[in-house]
Amino acid sequence: MNDNDIENEIQEKGLTAPRVTPEIIESKIKAEQYHIFPGTTFTACLLTLENGFTVLGESACASPENFDEEIGRKIARDNAKNKIWALEGYLLKEQLSK
């Protein structure tokens, strides 16, 4: 299940209290950079957010024969994006607590 599938289920159930959405997460991302370390299957994705803060995601595979640059980039970006969820969730909770 991806973020949009979950978002659709949330909306179908009418869970409309203040929350972080996939659209909010994507809107925070202003730049992305990728690096594959030479001779490895390790891919890093650095996402720069609208306020200049950066989050790093990574991916690697155990068997070099399975390495696919496009898949590595997708996984690394998703891992970085998951960190934004936690940051935005904290920020929303902080705002709601006041």
Domains of the chain: 22-96 (3.30.160)
Question: Tokens 């659209």 map to which residue?
Answer: 23
pLDDT at 50: 97
The residues facing 45 across adjacent strands are 34, 57
Interatomic CA distance for residues 80 and 48, integer angstroms: 10
Interatomic CA distance for residues 84 and 87, integer angstroms: 5
pLDDT at 4: 86
Query: pTM of the predicted model, to two decimals?
Result: 0.90
**Quick check: 1 pLDDT over 80?**
no
% of the chain with per-residue pLDDT over 90: 93
